[in-house]
């Protein structure tokens, strides 16, 4: 685990409450501010905690466990290539109840440092992210992945907005495994729920969406940005082999075409998927 010399536990570390059951070994390591190999640690953070601070402190294999409630980070969360897990709580029906919000101002999570399957986002509501053209962050309001393939499991992407592509989730030249996720009420020019694109010919990976639901997402021109937008209300896939299994597309809309699903180039396999009331 990496430690930064010269830190003070009273000024630079957002300590969880005692009831968070934080591993005593981790407490000792942080107080001593030394580098030492150790087993994986789990830190339980109450709502309002500084998630990014703990991402920076922890190392590969460690777990950040969020509680039921709202987390309002000061900016976009970045795992910086670490194989860590950020896991939330669920209700009695298995729906995530730990909310990370962009406040309608910034992108919620960004993976651009080669994150692999060991970087896990699980049981999270990723809400109100914003990727705005004028800020130079026009794609990926909820999660933005470039040349990265994290695991995204049982997450809800809710009301995220991107001026260009990928209101909820943006993937370029990577193959995250997206399992049991819900994309609800997201908006973008292309791929309002999720947008997938690979550069170069014949990319060597296959993207998997398993048991996902795309509901009431809308692809449309946003803020009069000068691009031919309005494709793939639920999901947009281009130049990437993909397998969609047990997915539902319901009530999605687009301004030009493909209200539910837009796919072009490469191979697309659909297994037991359902399309209902999508429109363009």
Mean pLDDT in consecutive groups of 10 residues from the start of the chain, 280 residues: 38 43 40 44 96 97 98 98 98 98 98 98 98 81 97 99 96 95 97 92 86 97 64 94 97 89 91 95
Separation between Cα atoms, residue 252 and residue 232, nearest integer Å: 8
Give ∠ CA 208-102-198 in degrees, rounded to 5: 30
Q: Is 276 exposed, middle or buried (0-12, 13-18, 19+ CB in 10 A)?
A: exposed
For residue 221, what pLDDT is reported?
76
Which residues touch 113 (CB under 8 Å, ≥6 apart)?
78, 79, 80, 81, 148
CB contact burial 245-268 (16+ within 10 A = b; e otherwise)? eebbbbbbbbbbebbbbbbeebee
What pTM was estimated for this model as a whole? Answer: 0.85
For residue 256, what pLDDT is reported?
77
Calculate the CA 44 to chain-centre distance.
20
Structure tokens at 261: 């699903």
- 168 close to 141: Cβ distance less than 8 angstroms: yes
Structure tokens at 113: 């440092």
For residue 223, what pLDDT is reported?
62
CATH of domain 43-276: 2.160.20.10
Domain positions in the chain are 43-276
Separation between Cα atoms, residue 156 and residue 123, nearest integer Å: 8
Separation between Cα atoms, residue 118 and residue 115, nearest integer Å: 8
- 38 close to 70: Cβ distance less than 8 angstroms: no
- 220 close to 254: Cβ distance less than 8 angstroms: yes
For residue 224, what pLDDT is reported?
56
For residue 217, what pLDDT is reported?
98
């Amino acid at each position: 685990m990496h430690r930064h010399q010269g830190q003070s536990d009273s000024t630079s570390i957002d300590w969880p409450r005692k009831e968070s059951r934080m591993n005593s070994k981790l407490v000792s390591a942080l107080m001593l501010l030394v580098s030492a190999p150790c087993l994986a640690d789990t830190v339980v953070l109450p709502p309002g905690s500084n998630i990014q601070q703990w991402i920076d402190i922890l190392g590969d294999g460690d777990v950040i466990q969020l509680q039921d409630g709202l987390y309002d980070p000061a900016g976009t969360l970045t795992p910086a290539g670490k194989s860590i897990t950020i896991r939330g709580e669920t209700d009695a029906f298995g729906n995530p109840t730990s909310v990370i919000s962009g406040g309608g101002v910034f992108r919620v999570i960004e993976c651009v440092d080669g994150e692999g399957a060991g970087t896990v986002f699980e049981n999270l509501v990723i809400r109100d992210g914003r990727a705005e053209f004028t800020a130079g962050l026009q794609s990926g309001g909820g999660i933005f992945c470039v040349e990265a393939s994290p695991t995204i499991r049982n997450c809800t992407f809710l009301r995220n907005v991107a001026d260009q592509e990928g209101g909820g989730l943006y993937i370029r030249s990577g193959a995250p495994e997206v399992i049991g996720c819900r994309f609800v009420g997201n908006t973008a020019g292309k791929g309002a729920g999720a947008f997938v694109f690979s550069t170069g010919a014949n990319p060597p990976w296959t993207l998997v969406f398993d048991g996902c639901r795309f509901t009431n997402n809308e692809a449309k021109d946003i803020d009069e940005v000068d691009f031919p937008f309005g494709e793939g209300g639920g999901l947009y896939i281009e130049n990437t082999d993909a397998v969609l299994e047990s997915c539902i597309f319901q009530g999605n809309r687009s301004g030009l075409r493909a209200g539910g699903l837009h796919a072009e180039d490469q191979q697309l396999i659909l297994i037991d998927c359902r399309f209902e009331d999508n429109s363009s």
